[in-house]
């Protein structure tokens, strides 16, 4: 594949290292029964940094009869070269054409990658639509990940969507393919068998759907419940792929736990990955040692949704501090929970080496924070700034959202007041070189969350509230306010809670030139506006009735719809729902046999700010 290009051709595109493959640590096999190509549908530097890709590569390749390779989406200059020279996408380790694999599996972490999936299939010469692949020896096109937990907008294009953890979903799937190949059964036999035998597999072609405006009036097909790996089933790689060019993240990484039980009502990941499953702290340290030794990475970090809630955080950090193996390793901190800052953890990170420290208050008022189920106050945030400032931190990055349910202009003004008070605290501590940056996002309602019924605010309302914040802080040179939302937010909002009628819209947008939509410099607004001309955008962004059947209602990611409704009603009343490690409230995730909150120290509960 890539070897068909001359050096001059390859060097004619930007960052040719994106395409040469053979990353250190990758695996090549000569003999296998089943082949699986993972595709992260974005540019190389994003995809190679995705930890799930590393999990799949080493997990599947541990199966003696299976082979795993990986691929990414080309930048526009490379796409043009591939089309001109008739070079299809290929596995980065094996250089085998994508179409020769038994399975092409897309890891979907944002809806803005939907058109990239079509681009990859198109470049590979694979029919885009499922119905056109029923005959012929085409690869099975599967997908998984949080952003496709509502698969309906991509129903025309994906054969199978796996909901939940890959450690549970993929091995039985590969066994079915192995059996089918041995007995020369057709691909439709595989799809039927997966539908019958894998309870977490959603197969769009098996569902009969009808609509009345935005309400689903017919949705026939089996219920699908997301797969959960127990702590013992979680795959913890002791190796990582080493990128050929710098990725957006390039560090030794260990997943110290999966899941979160805080119950933030806007957070899709918190619903998708629940419950909490922690690994032992000594195992986590051992894994980091192995990865650093194998890769030579000089940076290290942990992967989790809420690192400060790790029940063994102090023991973990103490082991790291006392181990000479990590003497020259730089540790990066994730977004911090302001109510649970551990002194030992802060000592691990030199504030002068850190670009900034990220704190996510999400909103500016205590009232609105109760609506989203955050159990800390503005005073907790400001106390954290003071403690960190006293330890030498001068650069802070805040993250907020506008457009959450019940929000008013006064709530937006409270964001500015918090930034002003934070600046005052750092000034009082004598930090003349302080820097406070605040990113203000636009809240996009997601399926399978308590806020799935609410409306998304307009760009005009967002801009008006943003202007309130900017006007209030404009005289403070140490405060920078950044915003991102544009028509990209409208597209994401429509796709997030969309239905299968959007298949034609996505296809049209792609044909009009949409791809790499998550990148400002590549986003084709004209293509999407033209594609949206046949739908009611406001209806897709609007409220959904609590009694409606929703397009994703045959999928049970974790929490029951009954629980989500009750929590939506609590949100409107401004009621906090406690972390379920403090007491089960019957959300429907755990079976209390294999799947339940699994902590290193079962009696050690998370820090709760309001207590």
| pLDDT digit string, tens, across residues 130-183 | 999 998 899 999 999 999 999 999 999 999 999 999 999 999 999 999 999 999
Which tokens belong to 114?
A: 């939907």
The Cα-based distances of 123 to 78, 194, 231, 552, 563 in angstroms read 11, 27, 39, 30, 43
Cβ neighbours for 607, distance < 8 A, ≥ 6 positions apart: 308, 309, 337, 339, 340
Instruction: Calculate mean pLDDT across residues 125-133.
Output: 97
Angle, helix 313-321 to helix 281-295, in steps of 10 degrees? 40
pLDDT score of 611 more than 50: no
DSSP characters over 85-142 = HT---B-TTT--BGGGSSEEEEE-S-GGGHHHHHHHHHHHT--SSGGGGSSSSPPEEE
304 closest CA partner among 241, 352, 262, 265: 262
Cβ–Cβ under 8 Å, residues 130 and 205: yes
Instruction: Calculate mean pLDDT across residues 96-120.
Output: 98
First to last CA, the chain: 60
21 closest CA partner among 90, 68, 111: 90
Confidence of residue 1 (pLDDT cuts 50, 70, 90): low
| pLDDT digit string, tens, across residues 484-514 | 878 999 999 999 999 999 999 999 999 999 9
In the chain, what percentage of residues exceed pLDDT 70? 95
pLDDT score of 608 more than 60: no
Q: pLDDT at position 609, please? A: 46
Distance CA 407, CA 571 (A): 12
pLDDT score of 274 more than 90: yes
| pLDDT digit string, tens, across residues 573-594 | 999 999 998 889 899 999 999 9
Which tokens belong to 133?
A: 């692949």
The pTM for the full model equals 0.95
pLDDT score of 250 more than 80: yes
pLDDT score of 334 more than 70: no
| pLDDT digit string, tens, across residues 400-423 | 999 999 999 999 999 999 999 999
Q: pLDDT at position 610, please? A: 41
Confidence of residue 387 (pLDDT cuts 50, 70, 90): confident
Who has greater pLDDT, 471 or 486?
471
Confidence of residue 363 (pLDDT cuts 50, 70, 90): very high
Confidence of residue 350 (pLDDT cuts 50, 70, 90): low
Q: pLDDT at position 485, please? A: 76
Distance CA 469, CA 117 (A): 38
Q: pLDDT at position 484, please? A: 81
Please name the residue that has the structure tokens 């390859």: 10
Q: pLDDT at position 5, please? A: 80
For the chain, how many helices (H) and strands (E)? 20, 19
Instruction: Calculate mean pLDDT across residues 289-294.
Output: 96
Q: pLDDT at position 355, please? A: 47
Q: pLDDT at position 602, please? A: 84
Residue 205: exposure state from Cβ atoms within 10 A (0-12, 13-18, ≥19): middle
Can you tell me whether residue 288 is helix, strand or coil? helix
| pLDDT digit string, tens, across residues 476-485 | 999 999 998 7
Instruction: Calculate mean pLDDT across residues 119-138.
Output: 96
Residue 417: exposure state from Cβ atoms within 10 A (0-12, 13-18, ≥19): middle
Instruction: Calculate mean pLDDT across residues 3-28.
Output: 92
pLDDT score of 9 more than 60: yes
pLDDT score of 244 more than 50: yes
Distance CA 508, CA 247 (A): 31
Confidence of residue 340 (pLDDT cuts 50, 70, 90): low
pLDDT score of 319 more than 60: yes
């Amino acid at each position: 594949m890539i070897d068909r290009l001359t050096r001059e051709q390859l060097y004619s595109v930007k960052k040719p290292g994106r395409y040469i493959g053979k990353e250190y640590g990758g695996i090549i096999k000569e003999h296998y029964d089943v082949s699986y190509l993972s595709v992260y549908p974005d540019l190389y530097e994003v995809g190679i940094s995705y930890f799930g890709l590393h999990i799949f590569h080493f997990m599947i390749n541990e199966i003696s009869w299976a082979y795993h390779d990986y691929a990414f989406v080309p930048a526009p200059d490379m796409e043009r070269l591939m089309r001109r020279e008739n070079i299809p996408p290929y596995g980065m380790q094996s250089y085998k054409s994508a179409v020769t694999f038994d399975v092409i599996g897309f890891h979907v972490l944002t809806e803005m990658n939907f058109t990239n999936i079509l681009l990859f299939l198109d470049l590979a010469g694979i029919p885009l639509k499922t119905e056109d692949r029923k005959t012929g020896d085409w690869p099975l096109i599967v997908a998984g990940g949080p952003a496709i937990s509502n698969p309906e907008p991509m129903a025309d294009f994906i054969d199978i969507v796996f909901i939940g953890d890959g450690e549970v979903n993929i091995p039985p799937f590969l066994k079915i393919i192995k059996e089918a190949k041995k007995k020369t059964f057709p691909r439709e036999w595989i799809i039927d068998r997966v539908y019958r035998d894998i309870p977490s597999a959603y197969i769009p072609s098996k569902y009969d759907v009808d609509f009345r405006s935005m309400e689903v009036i017919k949705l026939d097909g089996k219920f699908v419940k997301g797969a959960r790996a127990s702590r013992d089933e979680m795959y913890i790689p002791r190796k990582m792929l080493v990128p050929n060019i710098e990725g957006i993240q390039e560090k030794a990484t260990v997943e110290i736990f999966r899941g979160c039980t805080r119950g933030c009502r806007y957070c899709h990941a918190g619903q998708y990955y629940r419950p909490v499953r922690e690994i032992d702290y000594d195992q986590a340290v051992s894994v980091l040692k192995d990865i650093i030794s194998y890769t030579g990475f000089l940076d290290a970090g942990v992967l989790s949704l809420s690192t400060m809630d790790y029940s063994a955080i102090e023991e973990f950090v103490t082991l790291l501090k006392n181990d000479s193996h990590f003497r020259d390793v730089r540790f990066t901190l994730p977004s911090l929970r302001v109510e649970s800052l551990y002194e030992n953890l802060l000592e691990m990170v030199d504030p002068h080496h850190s670009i900034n420290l990220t704190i996510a208050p999400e909103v500016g008022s205590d009232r609105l924070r109760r609506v989203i189920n955050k159990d800390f106050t503005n005073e907790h945030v400001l106390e954290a700034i003071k403690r960190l400032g006293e330890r030498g931190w001068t650069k802070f990055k805040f993250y907020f959202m506008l457009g959450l349910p019940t929000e008013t202009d006064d709530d937006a003004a409270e964001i500015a007041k918090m930034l002003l008070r934070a600046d005052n605290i750092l000034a009082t501590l004598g930090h003349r070189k302080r820097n406070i940056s605040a990113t203000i996002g636009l809240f996009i309602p997601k399926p399978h969350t308590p806020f799935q019924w609410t409306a998304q605010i307009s760009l005009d309302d967002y801009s008006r509230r943003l202007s309130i914040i900017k006007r209030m802080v404009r005289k403070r040179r140490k405060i920078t306010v950044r915003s991102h939302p544009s028509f990209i937010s409208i597209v994401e909002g429509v796709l997030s809670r969309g239905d299968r009628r959007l298949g034609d819209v996505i296809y049209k947008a792609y044909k009009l030139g949409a791809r790499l939509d998550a990148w400002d410099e590549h986003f084709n607004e004209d293509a999407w506006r033209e594609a949206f001309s046949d739908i009611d955008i406001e209806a897709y962004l609007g409220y959904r009735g609590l009694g409606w059947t929703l397009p994703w209602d045959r999928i049970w990611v974790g929490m029951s719809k009954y629980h989500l409704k009750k929590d939506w009603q609590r949100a409107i009343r401004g009621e906090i729902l406690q972390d379920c490690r403090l007491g089960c409230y019957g959300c429907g995730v755990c079976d209390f046999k294999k799947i339940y909150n699994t902590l290193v120290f079962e009696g050690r509960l998370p820090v709760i700010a309001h207590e």
